Amino acid sequence: MHQDLLLATDGSDAAERAADHGIELASELGATLHVLSVSEDGPQAANKQDKLRSDPEDEAVTAAERTKEAAERDGVDVTTDIRHGVPQEQVVDFAETNAVDMIIVGTAGRSGLDHLISGSVAEEIVRNAPVPVLTVRDRS
């Protein structure tokens, strides 16, 4: 049924929680877990960067590698990919071009003005994905 699962991660708490669920699900199903992290490009990325954040490319690589190591510890077959661009577009494109069966993504559960201004990556993935999407809400 589900042999190829796509886990989108940015290293956030919500993504880490989604990774826990994705690794467990892949283990139970004997599925391959494809870990995708996107280094944001463009004006939105520039707005998010500040002096305290490291390089977006480094953040993407670190997030993917941390998830890969956790999956391997649990005996899960795992691949990683780093892409550049708009996260929701890259996740949907990966799902379309790699024939995954399900996408797993964390959501921070934003609401109000913050949600109206910036929207939600998870919401855009749900709207545009060619396959079912499992959203995992952050504990906070």
Quote the CA–CA distance of 85 and 108 in Å, as a whole number.
21
Supply φ then ψ for residue 24, to 5 degrees. -60, -45
Query: What's 13's domain CATH number?
Result: 3.40.50.620
Tell me the pLDDT band of 140, cut-offs 50, 70 and 90: low
Alpha carbon of 60 to those of 2, 12, 27, 38, 136: distances in Å? 26, 11, 24, 6, 19
> Which domain covers residue 104, as residue numbers?
4-137
Q: What is the pLDDT of residue 94?
A: 98
Q: What is the pLDDT of residue 119?
A: 55
Tens-digit pLDDT profile for residues 12-45: 888 999 999 999 999 999 999 999 999 987 545 5
- CB-based burial label for 131 (10 Å; 0-12, 13-18, 19+): middle
Number of domains observed in the structure of the chain: 1
Q: Is residue 122 within 8 Å of residue 114, measured between CB atoms?
A: no
Tens-digit pLDDT profile for residues 49-98: 554 456 788 899 999 999 999 999 999 999 999 999 999 999 999 999 99
Quote the CA–CA distance of 133 and 21 in Å, as a whole number.
13
Residue 110 has pLDDT above 70, yes or no: no
